[in-house]
Structure 1
């Protein structure tokens, strides 16, 4: 398929890179959230003074 226009290959490459970045960021943040949840905040309940 080398006869295809360069624009087509450029768009393909850009889409691939974009999806790769999005998927990697989602995985990273998912792992970070899991780490944060494991720690479990030991915060005292705040009694609101209205």
Structure 2
């Protein structure tokens, strides 16, 4: 029984964290965009100001 509970918890964490990869931690301006942080630029995630598409 304990093994089943651990599997269920592991799967729940896996599903929960995979959807968090699409989350955006920064704030956007009235145009729906923002400037990249220095940290993001260093990681190569973005180069400057960019927009976020709304679905």
Tell me the TM-score range normalised by the shorter chain. Answer: 0.3 to 0.5
Q: TM-score, normalised by structure 1?
A: 0.46
Point out the structure with the larger strand share.
2
Bigger CA radius of gyration: 1
When the two structures are superposed, what TM-score results if normalisation uses the length of structure 2?
A: 0.43
